């Protein structure tokens, strides 16, 4: 039994280094995940995946985070909307079609496992990392849409992974940066967070764990390391028999307390089938050696790991990694579908009115929003100014961060004041020196709760989303979506 069968790991750049390939061969690593920094373009990606498949050998897993919206690693593919946009449209058939089109692009480049859909319920608007990634706050409605998305996705040959068990929606701490604690009773968890996972238990081929402590479930360990949660709750009570994948073990919630090598063994012992020790060559070598030692010594139960190996192999064979074609006609059709889906999700808050044609348009936005390690960086202020130029006379006002926006000194003149939220961060809870005529929330929908203006919510900033926002601003599209989670002020 080889340690690498129970690992999904990554690489530092756009090519597979020889020393890393040698390490993977030594331990027979069977899974890899690619991020934006691994992708330079379609031809490079095809070469890289070909190299990976050669090194990974039989029954490989090539995975990616391609949720839609801000969490999208392949920028050259058409961009699907995130869960909350589909929640606003509230159409399972649309969700199913978007899931299928998302998978078509991935399958063409050799991916056979996608870390989506998000099954977390956004029951806390202050959540710093879930927000628009969730399908909504209502457990039944969100479950129905997420499962429809899954059905379309697997139909196109790419496995899905529901995340993050048993629920990341009600946190105020990002587990990439710290260890969240969810203080909810077991009854509350069963009524809300656990519903989508219970419904997914017999259907989704994989689930991802959450680096979160739930005192009602386990008073000491986060779900990723908890046998009570992964085996007792997920396997035994919910009856889940698919592949359980840990979230990345380099996240600070885990790395700062246990370190990836020790956490990998603990997670496998708790009931995970695959762990993700992402990091450099040294960290990967340490983690693989630690897992192998635990296997060889009997510290890890061989019967349990044989069952894990069987589940992993069954998934890889049910969804083989076979790069294929993604023709221009299909790409164009998928892009049209995504544009229609982004349009269906456009949501009015209050009574938003577009600016008059040809008006002076004062555009207030963050100059250069940053990504957060999970989400990619938002559209820049300059990109937004170019988008709107030509139809309006754009007067750009760019700020370095959202905290400066409420206190701006904005001239009282004939210009239409358009505030565009192109960052996930909400505005601080404070009084405003000025009032926008219109607020466009391109990213976090909960930003609309803290702005004294009617709003248009798009749930995303991809090219397709910006296209439909511009169409609405020009009076060429309608906003008929409905917020799938209640708006409440989230500022600090």
Q: Which residues are catalytic?
A: 176, 247
Are the beta carbons of 391 and 350 closer than 8 angstroms? no
Is cis: bond before 166, omega within 30 of 0? Answer: yes
* 141 contact partners, CB below 8 Å, separation of at least 6: 87, 90, 135, 484
How far apart are the C-alpha atoms of 143 and 117, rounded to whole Å? 10
Q: Which of 157, 48, 70 is nearest to 113 (CA)?
A: 157
| CB 352, CB 479: distance < 8 Å | yes
Residue 374 is encoded by which pair of tokens?
């999970």
In whole angstroms, what is the distance from residue 458 CA to residue 14 CA? Answer: 32
Residues 265 and 4: beta-carbon distance below 8 Å: no
Angle at 137 between CA 147 and CA 425, to 5 degrees: 110
Q: What does DSSP assign to residue 213?
A: B
Cα angle value 371/376/382 (rounded, 5°) = 80
Q: Strands across the sheet with 161-165, in order?
A: 161-165, 206-209, 243-248, 274-276
Q: Where are the beta strands (DSSP E) in 170-221?
A: 206-209
Q: Which two tokens stand for residue 157?
A: 């040959």
Residues 124, 149: Cα–Cα separation, whole Å? 23
Rounded to the nearest 10 degrees, how much is the dihedral formed by the CA atoms of 396, 401, 407, 413?
10
* DSSP annotation of 172: S
Quote the CA–CA distance of 459 and 82 in Å, as a whole number: 7
Cis bond upstream, residue 117 (ω within 30) = yes
Coil, helix or strand at residue 260: helix
Tokens standing for residue 112: 């056979």
């Amino acid at each position: 039994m080889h340690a690498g069968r129970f690992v999904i790991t990554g690489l530092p750049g756009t090519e597979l280094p020889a020393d890393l390939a040698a390490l993977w061969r030594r331990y027979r690593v069977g899974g890899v995940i690619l991020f934006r920094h691994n992708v330079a373009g379609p031809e490079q990606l095809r070469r890289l995946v070909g190299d990976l498949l050669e090194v990974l050998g039989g029954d490989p897993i090539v995975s990616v985070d391609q949720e839609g919206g801000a969490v999208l690693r392949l920028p050259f593919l058409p961009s699907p909307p995130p869960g909350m946009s589909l929640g606003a449209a509230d159409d399972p058939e649309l969700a199913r079609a978007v899931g299928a089109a998302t998978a078509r692009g991935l399958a063409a480049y050799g991916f056979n496992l996608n870390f989506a859909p998000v099954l977390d319920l956004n029951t806390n608007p202050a959540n710093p990392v879930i927000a628009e990634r969730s399908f909504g706050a209502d457990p039944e409605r969100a479950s129905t849409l997420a499962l429809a998305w899954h059905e379309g996705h697997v139909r196109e040959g790419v496995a899905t992974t529901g995340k993050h068990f048993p629920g990341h929606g009600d946190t105020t701490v990002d587990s990439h940066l710290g260890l969240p604690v969810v203080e909810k009773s077991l009854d509350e968890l069963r009524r809300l967070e656990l519903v989508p996972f219970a419904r997914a238990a017999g259907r989704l081929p994989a689930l991802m764990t959450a680096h979160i402590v739930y005192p009602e479930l386990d008073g000491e360990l986060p779900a990723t390391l908890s046998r009570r949660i992964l085996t007792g709750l997920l396997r035994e009570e919910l009856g889940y028999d698919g592949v359980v994948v840990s979230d990345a073990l380099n996240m600070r919630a885990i790395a700062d307390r246990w370190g990836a090598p020790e956490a990998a063994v603990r997670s496998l012992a708790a009931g995970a089938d695959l762990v993700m020790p992402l990091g450099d060559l040294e960290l990967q070598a340490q983690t693989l050696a630690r897992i192998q030692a635990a296997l060889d010594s009997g510290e890890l139960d061989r019967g349990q790991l044989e069952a894990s190996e069987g589940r992993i192999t069954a998934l890889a064979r049910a969804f083989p990694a076979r790069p294929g074609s993604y023709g221009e006609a299909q790409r164009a059709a998928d892009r049209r579908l995504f544009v229609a889906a982004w349009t269906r999700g456009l949501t009015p808050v209050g009574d938003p009115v577009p600016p008059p044609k040809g008006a002076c348009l004062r555009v207030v936005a963050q100059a250069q929003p940053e990504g957060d390690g999970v989400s990619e960086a938002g559209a820049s202020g300059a990109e937004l100014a170019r988008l709107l130029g030509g139809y309006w006379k754009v007067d750009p006002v760019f700020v370095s961060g959202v905290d400066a926006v409420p206190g701006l000194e904005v001239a009282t003149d004939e210009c239409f004041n358009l505030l565009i939220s192109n960052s996930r961060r909400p505005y601080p809870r404070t009084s405003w020196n000025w009032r926008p005529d219109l607020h466009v929330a391109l990213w976090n929908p909960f930003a609309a709760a803290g702005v004294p203006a009617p709003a248009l919510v798009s749930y995303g900033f991809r090219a397709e989303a910006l296209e439909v926002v511009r169409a609405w601003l020009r009076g060429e599209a309608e906003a008929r979506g409905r917020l799938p989670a209640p708006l409440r002020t989230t500022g600090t």
